Amino acid sequence: MKDYFTSVCGKPGEAGALACAGFRETAVTNESKALFAQATLDFGAISPVLDRLRLTAGYRYTWDKIDGSTISYTPAIYSGTGADNVRCLFDGGTVSRGNVGNLVSSGADRGCRYEGHLKSKAPNWTIGLDYRPIDNLLIYAKVTRGYKAGGFNAFAVNSIYAQFGPEFVTDWEAGFKSDFKIVGRPVRLNVNGFNMDYSKIQRGLADFNPTTNQQGAATLSTAAARISGVEVEAMFKPFDVLEIGGNYSYTDAKYKSFTYQSATAVWDCHSTAANGYLKTMNPDLTCIPLQYMAPNIFSIYGRLALPTSEDVGDISLFVSYAWSDKRHQSGPALEKFVDGSATWEPGSDLAAYGLLSASLDWKKALGTDLDVSLFGTNLLNKKYAISNSGVYNAIGNQTQIFGEPRMYGIRLRYSFGN
C-alpha cells in the first residue's frame, strides 16, 4: 500500500507557501501466514457419566512480516531559483531534491527516506470446558492466549519510533448462561467473569522533534496491565406483554508497568509542584488509568406490547436508558498532576453520562409487509464528550468530539417475498 500526502501553509506570498509546503510518501507491506486447528471432545462418548461435558481446544501459529518506508521533506515545491535542496522532516538534514529517495543513513548521498522492518511470530491458543447439567443451564470456563503483530510507524519524526513490536494477552474467563422461570414467568440470566494479563501493550501518543520542529505520531509497545471484571445480562417477562432487562459490566483495569524511552523530555507520574514539574527522558506512566475503561457501564430497557388485532399489526413501545462512568482518554497523561496542583493534559477525563432513548414500533402495519418505527435518541439532549485529542502538551492543540444530540426520526422497512 502506498500513500501520498502534500501540505501547504498560510504564510504570505508565494515564497511563504513554498517555504513550508511539505511532502510525504509512505509505502507499507504486511504479510501474515498462519496454521490453525480446533477440535471439540464430547466426554459423553467416553462415559455416560460424563455426558454433556465438552472440552474445546484450538491452536494457531502466526508468522508476520512488515516492511515500511516513508519519504518526507519540505519544501515540496521548487521556486525555480537557487539550490534545489530540501529539509528532511525526520531528522532535519538538508539534501538535494534528487536524493530524497535515498536512505537517511546513505552517507554523502543521503536522502529523506527512513524504513522499518519487523518480523514476529507467536502462538495463539484457547482451551475450555463447558458443562450443561440441565437443558437450560450452561457452565463454562476457558483460557485464551492472543497475539497482535507490531507495525511500521509512517508518521514518526524521531528514529526510535520508526517501528513498534507485537502485543500479547492471556484471558481467563468463567461463567454461566441460564434460562429459568420465577412463578411461571421466563427469566434469563447470563454472568461472565474475566481476568486479562496484557503485555507489550500498543499505545499511541503524539511525537515532536525539536530539531526539525515537526509534529508526528508514535506507537509504543512497552506497557503491561491487568484487566479484570464481570458482565451480567438479565431479562424478565412478568407479563406476556411486558419485557424488562438490562446489562451491567464492571471493569477494574490497572497498569502493572508503563515505562519507555522518550525522544524528548516529558512529564510523568513523578512530576509535581515540589520538584518543579520535573521532566524526564525515561518517563514512568504506571499511575495513569487505562484508556477508555469506564469502571461501570449499564443499560436497562422495557418493551410493552400494545393490544391490537391481527389485521392492525404488532405495536410496541420500547424505552431504554444507558449509563457510562467517567473514563480516562489520554494515553500518556493525567488530567492533573498526581499532586493535583495543576493541569497536565486538559480534557483527559471524560465525564460520565446517561442517555434516554425510546421508539414506537409497528410491525406488519395494517396486515402488510411494512414495518414502521418512530424513534428518539438522547431524549434529554445530554451534552457529552466521547473523545479528546490528548495532544495539548505535545503540539499545543486540544480537540474534543461530542456525542450525537437529541434526534427524532422514522424508519420504514418493507419485506419482499417470504
Over its length of 418 residues, how does the chain's per-residue pLDDT go in tens digits? 666 666 666 666 666 666 667 788 899 999 999 999 999 999 999 998 899 999 999 999 999 999 999 998 887 666 666 678 888 888 878 888 889 999 988 778 899 999 999 999 999 999 999 999 999 999 999 999 999 999 999 888 888 898 999 999 999 999 999 999 999 999 999 999 999 999 999 998 888 887 777 778 889 999 999 999 999 999 999 999 999 999 999 999 999 999 999 988 999 999 999 999 999 999 999 999 998 899 999 999 999 999 988 889 999 999 999 999 999 988 889 999 999 999 998 989 999 999 999 999 999 998 899 999 999 999 999 999 998 877 777 667 778 899 999 999 999 999 986 6
112 closest CA partner among 156, 72, 154: 72
Q: What is the pLDDT of residue 154?
A: 87
- Nine-digit cell at 137? 443451564
What whole-number distance in Å separates Cα of residue 217 and Cα of residue 205?
Answer: 6
- Nine-digit cell at 234? 438479565
Say whether 387 sits in a helix, a strand or coil: strand
Q: Are 93 and 106 in contact (CB under 8 A)?
A: no
Which is it for the CA torsion 333, 334, 337, 343, positive or negative?
A: positive
Residue 1 CA to its chain's centroid (Å): 23
- Nine-digit cell at 74? 519540505
What whole-number distance in Å separates Cα of residue 248 and Cα of residue 234?
Answer: 9
Q: What is the pLDDT of residue 167?
A: 96
What whole-number distance in Å separates Cα of residue 36 and Cα of residue 6?
Answer: 43
Q: Are 172 and 228 in contact (CB under 8 A)?
A: no
Q: What is the pLDDT of residue 389?
A: 79
Instruction: Say whether pTM exceeds 0.75.
Output: yes
Q: Are 359 and 373 in contact (CB under 8 A)?
A: yes
What whole-number distance in Å separates Cα of residue 99 and Cα of residue 111?
Answer: 5
- Distances in Å between the Cα of 25 and the Cα atoms of 126, 153, 337 are 40, 13, 38
What count of other Cβ atoms lies within 10 Å of the Cβ of residue 388? 21
CA dihedral 173, 177, 183, 184 (to 10 degrees): 180
- Nine-digit cell at 335? 488530567
Q: What is the pLDDT of residue 105?
A: 82
SS3 content of the chain, % helix, strand, coil (to 5): 10, 60, 35
What whole-number distance in Å separates Cα of residue 206 and Cα of residue 38?
Answer: 41
Q: What is the pLDDT of residue 217?
A: 85
Q: What is the pLDDT of residue 339?
A: 94
79 closest CA partner among 13, 22, 14, 11: 14
What count of other Cβ atoms lies within 10 Å of the Cβ of residue 334? 22
Q: What is the pLDDT of residue 230?
A: 98
Say whether 367 sits in a helix, a strand or coil: helix
Burial class (CB in 10 A: 0-12, 13-18, 19+), 350: buried
